Amino acid sequence: MLDFYGLAQDPFGEQVDATVFSNAGDRSELAEQFKHLLTFSPQDCLLMAPAGGGKTALAQQVLKRLDDEWRVAWVNAAEATQLDDLVRELIGQLGLGLKADGDIASAFRNIADVIRQRTEDGEFFLLIVQHADQLPLDVQQWLQSFRTLSPRPDSRLRQLWLASSATAIEQADNDDQWYSLVLEPFNASDALTYLKDRFAGAGQLDGVPIEPRDVTRLNELAGGLPGELNQVVKDYLIAGTYKTTERRQGFPLTHVLAGAAVVTVVVLAVLYSQQPANESVDITSSQQTNTETEEPTEVQQRLAEAAARIEARRQEGVASASESEPVAEPEPASDTSPTDPPSETSQLATQTTENPAATPGSTDVDTEQPDASTEVETDAGGDRGLMATAADSDYTLQLLGVRDRSAIERVVLGLENPDRFEIVSSTYQGEPWYVLIHGQYEDAAQARADIDRLPDVFSGQSPWPRTFSSLRADAPEE
């Protein structure tokens, strides 16, 4: 991707994270505001946003603006569940020189006393609590007790808590104790500014290699969250870097879209298949196949792929949240950079429940399928189902592609005739990938004719015809 777009480094990698802070959404002004509050206000600070909303990046920027006299402890609430552990972290990270022994009350009094004494010598002390809404109630109460142990704001431990919401935080509605701020999601203009800054930090001085209208759509897919936007745009760009012998590396996206028609058709087929790049693509055969299939535009395909990846990450987040109740943060899908919003129900699954549709047309070939009550998928290489019986030259409709198999299983089980659909295991960028297929057809035109008869849940998923040979080629090695 770097060579393709002429980048010196990954615009969404750690190096750019460490060196670039965008003022999109007035984030620089907010960082300065928090610095002022932590220095002079009698309140502690509570910063709220969903996972990927930019809380951590903003807090890190605040730290960069503090003077050298500040001593900072950064604690992850998911790991600071015991008071003894928290005391040791505070003493160690703040360099207080105390022994972490004795009862909790004495330990907190000693910490408060040392901080009060050292502030008289010009030092300042700050505690940042990440995922603060996961702190147990007793830990919250002890941390907030620093206000009474050292009533003067200029001589006590200052605190900045980062949370998804204030619901689980004690006294969060007390304006005398907390200054609370919710980070707003990016609008389209913010997203474009943010991406320009990141690409400039990566060595791309010509702006963002994506049309502004498509940045708007990608930002909508990301929910305006900068962390999610990073991954969505990266997925989008990677989809544009698939190589053939006819394409040159480093060619700008706008020129690619305006390139030779034959090469574009080849690229569209590879992009929309949501499969890994293949260095040995047969140009002649690809041209012939794609001329028949009349795929949608490249932008539509890549946006659809980005949406599928978001769905996969959200589904994995739902599973992660259910395992770590009462509060947990979902983990991004395999090759993404993590994300932590409250768990949510898959939009696709909801649509399935609310809009069951009639069985698709009779162009399906009725092959022996597994009983939907016990098993809903047949993987590539299995001994039953379409993947085992269809000829390589036959076509099927690919309906979905995601990382999380259970997400597709839930969709299939919500259908009126789940036995007419099949889940196929494949690989994408070296990781497991699962696609949902339907039907067996003699050619692409016959497959396309059946799209309108699919259940409503697939109406926004851009189903597309592909051969069984291409599915088998992407099956994981046994």
Q: CB pairs under 8 A, 24+ apart, for 212-217? A: 212/188, 214/299, 214/303, 215/188, 215/191, 216/188, 216/191, 217/303
Q: How do residues 410-419 score in pLDDT, each as one tens digit?
A: 888 888 888 8
The top-scoring range by mean pLDDT among 59-68, 277-286, 384-393 is 59-68
**How many other CB atoms are found less than 10 A from the CB of residue 356?**
14
Of 62 and 409, more confident? 62
pLDDT of 305 over the 70 cut: no
In this prediction, residue 371 has a pLDDT band, given cuts at 50, 70 and 90, of: very low
In this prediction, residue 314 has a pLDDT band, given cuts at 50, 70 and 90, of: low
Q: Where in the chain is the domain with CATH 3.40.50.300?
A: 41-182
Structure tokens at 393: 């030259």
**How many other CB atoms are found less than 10 A from the CB of residue 226?**
26
- Please tell me the distance from the alpha carbon of residue 369 to that of residue 436, in angstroms, as a whole number: 14
Sheet of 421-428, strands arranged across: 421-428, 431-441, 395-402, 464-467
Q: How far apart are the first and last CA of the chain?
A: 30
pLDDT of 423 over the 50 cut: yes
pLDDT of 244 over the 70 cut: no
User: What is the β-pairing status of strands 124-130 and 158-163?
Assistant: parallel
Of 434 and 32, more confident? 32
This prediction's pTM = 0.56
Q: 428 has which bridge partners?
A: 431
Place domain 352-473 in its CATH homologous superfamily: Sporulation related repeat (3.30.70.1070)
- Please tell me the distance from the alpha carbon of residue 396 to that of residue 441, in angstroms, as a whole number: 6
DSSP state of 319: H
Mean pLDDT along residues 125-148: 93
- Please tell me the distance from the alpha carbon of residue 117 to that of residue 326, in angstroms, as a whole number: 39
In this prediction, residue 438 has a pLDDT band, given cuts at 50, 70 and 90, of: very high
Task: Name residue, tokens 């690919």.
Answer: 398
pLDDT of 289 over the 50 cut: no
User: Given this model, what pLDDT does residue 370 score?
Assistant: 34
Q: Of the ranges 86-95, 161-170, 265-274, 425-434, which one carries the lowest mean pLDDT score? A: 265-274
129 Cβ contact list (under 8 Å, min separation 6): 75, 77, 80, 135, 143, 159, 160, 161, 162
User: Which among 418, 398, 416, 417 is positioned nearest to 462, based on CA atoms?
Assistant: 398
The string of DSSP letters for 148-165 reads HHS-SGGGS-EEEEEES-
User: Given this model, what pLDDT does residue 459 score?
Assistant: 67
In this prediction, residue 402 has a pLDDT band, given cuts at 50, 70 and 90, of: confident
User: Given this model, what pLDDT does residue 301 score?
Assistant: 60
Of 359 and 135, more confident? 135
Structure tokens at 384: 């039953």
pLDDT of 267 over the 60 cut: no
Mean pLDDT along residues 120-141: 93
In this prediction, residue 309 has a pLDDT band, given cuts at 50, 70 and 90, of: low
Of 296 and 372, more confident? 296
Of 437 and 258, more confident? 437
- Please tell me the distance from the alpha carbon of residue 293 to that of residue 282, in angstroms, as a whole number: 17
pLDDT of 81 over the 50 cut: yes
Indicate the fold that domain 41-182 takes in CATH: Rossmann fold (3.40.50)
Q: Of the ranges 63-67, 202-206, 242-246, 393-397, which one carries the lowest mean pLDDT score? A: 242-246
Structure tokens at 156: 């006590």
Mean pLDDT along residues 194-219: 90
Residues in the chain: 478
Q: Where in the chain is the domain with CATH 3.30.70.1070?
A: 352-473
CB of 222 closer than 8 Å to CB of 190: no
Q: How do residues 8-57 score in pLDDT, each as one tens digit?
A: 889 888 888 888 999 999 999 999 999 999 988 889 999 999 999 999 99
Write down the mean pLDDT value for the chain.
75
Mean pLDDT along residues 164-173: 90
- C-alpha 308, offset from chain centre: 11
Mean pLDDT along residues 444-467: 81
pLDDT of 70 over the 60 cut: yes
Percent of the chain with pLDDT over 90: 36
261 Cβ contact list (under 8 Å, min separation 6): none
CB of 54 closer than 8 Å to CB of 227: yes
Structure tokens at 369: 């399928």
CB of 408 closer than 8 Å to CB of 348: no
DSSP state of 81: -
pLDDT of 126 over the 90 cut: yes
Of 462 and 219, more confident? 219
Structure tokens at 242: 């698939």
- Please tell me the distance from the alpha carbon of residue 376 to that of residue 423, in angstroms, as a whole number: 7
pLDDT of 287 over the 60 cut: no
Q: What are the C-alpha distances in Å from 25 to residues 15, 53, 257?
A: 22, 11, 31
